[in-house]
Structure 1
């Protein structure tokens, strides 16, 4: 008698393997070989098929914790972004992909959703979680490079992403005295309510030590967002 291994009841349990396989192809700068991914699409397509089967909306009993819900949506966002880019390849800039954020092309838990739909869902259901912006990647130089997000380590991963992003040379700059603070453009996607205070709080924890020291001054700080660099992270 042959012992058959039963597949997991929850397809989400299998997702780590395929998505990790895709992300493992990134170089140290977060660049991917789009031609290779387009030529060998099986891992990404398998992962998309699994995301399509169930989501926190379609199967809430399988996503009972906030961490499981967030890990799903964040990984789904990054996967859809990459799939949109691969389908449009060869392409060098997000601006060259019509409807990149708004088009509803792929299914999540039985529902067609766009990148904007996921952003709206996250903003409405998790308004007090500013660290999420560090995990949303559109695979351009505008946003951080993506990582495989796991519910069990999510909070730690989000803080590590904030550290890595804000401590990169030139990511955060402060003009002399109480001059404006220049920050990455993707932080403009934080909820407008108390956005300046939220960014200052993040900088006080995750910015380079010199910046953190300057923030103790009593100033009326102004936040300026850098010009977005929408060139796609790809190996040339």
Structure 2
């Protein structure tokens, strides 16, 4: 009995440590092999298949855009597979950096949708991944230019360190209600700036971005996990949110600040 209890306590302690570790936000650390481009190449990636998927299954509901995973047909599932196959057959380093940004954001979002579709129905993306994993972000989910990649690789070793743009957090989608919305339009080199600004504006003005109730300001946990990308301190983060947010400025807030995030699946 004593040995069984000891094993239980040890396992419980391991789970606590493991959980705190997986929930820690990954740092922005460049994977150097991806930091190159061919600015003389005027060719654009074809994201039309991804746009067809978005047009067919993404709907607006209040502050959310929701993806109707349960309605995806076999034909459209195959279309998504073909899009991912077409995209990953190309080496993004042979393209302009502006094309690369759209490539990586669309790839991340399309892969996330595919991961959900492969396991649907599920209640949350956090239920995916290996044993004791909190989601699939460290799983190898694709191969580009001979390199096996995880979603975390794309976001934290490619997008964040190469572009150093906090709006990236508004562009990549984790299939959750608390996440900035999956854009209704596929990213391209031409529309990237407008889509990033639109995403930042939408999120910062939504209840899941920032809400005030009495003396408490509730912010998305994104500003806690990735605060370093938004500012050096809490007031600097609030100032950056204010750049896109309408109404009363948050900078100078002296009340309580807490963080929240809804991991429920972004489905109708």
Distance between the aligned counterparts of 1:12 and 1:186, measured in 2? 31
Match of 2:72 in 1: 37
Cα gap change, 1:45/1:195 in structure 2, threshold over 3 Å: closer, same or farther?
A: farther
**Mapping for residues 151-190 of structure 1, pairs under 5 Å:** 151-169=189-207, 171-174=209-212, 176=214, 181-190=217-226
Distance between the aligned counterparts of 2:88 and 2:73, measured in 1? 20
Distance between the aligned counterparts of 1:46 and 1:10, measured in 2? 23
Match of 1:206 in 2: 244
Q: What is the total number of aligned residue pairs between the two structures?
A: 213
User: Do 1:181 and 1:223's aligned partners in 2 also have CA atoms closer than 8 Å?
Assistant: yes
Greater mean deviation of Cα atoms: 92-101 or 19-28? 92-101
Deviating runs (4+, > 6 A) in structure 1?
Answer: none
Deviation at 1:175, TM superposition (A): 5.3
SS in 2 for 1:107: strand
What TM-score results when the alignment is normalised by the length of structure 2? 0.70
Cα gap change, 1:11/1:102 in structure 2, threshold over 3 Å: closer, same or farther?
A: farther
SS in 2 for 1:105: strand
- Identify unmatched segments of 5+ residues in structure 1: 1-8
**Mapping for residues 9-20 of structure 1, pairs under 5 Å:** 13-14=45-46, 16-20=47-51
User: Do 1:106 and 1:112's aligned partners in 2 also have CA atoms closer than 8 Å?
Assistant: yes
Q: Does 1:22 align with 2:79?
A: no
Cα gap change, 1:229/1:13 in structure 2, threshold over 3 Å: closer, same or farther?
A: same
Match of 2:139 in 1: 103
Q: Does 1:224 align with 2:258?
A: yes
User: Do 1:12 and 1:50's aligned partners in 2 also have CA atoms closer than 8 Å?
Assistant: no
Distance between the aligned counterparts of 1:89 and 1:170, measured in 2? 25
Distance between the aligned counterparts of 1:195 and 1:23, measured in 2? 37
SS in 2 for 1:151: coil
Cα gap change, 1:195/1:123 in structure 2, threshold over 3 Å: closer, same or farther?
A: farther
Distance between the aligned counterparts of 1:199 and 1:125, measured in 2? 21
Distance between the aligned counterparts of 1:116 and 1:55, measured in 2? 19
Match of 2:121 in 1: 90
User: Do 1:134 and 1:158's aligned partners in 2 also have CA atoms closer than 8 Å?
Assistant: yes
Deviation at 1:83, TM superposition (A): 0.9
What TM-score results when the alignment is normalised by the length of structure 1? 0.79
Distance between the aligned counterparts of 1:158 and 1:51, measured in 2? 21
Q: Residue 71 of structure 1: which of 98, 102, 117 is its match?
A: 102
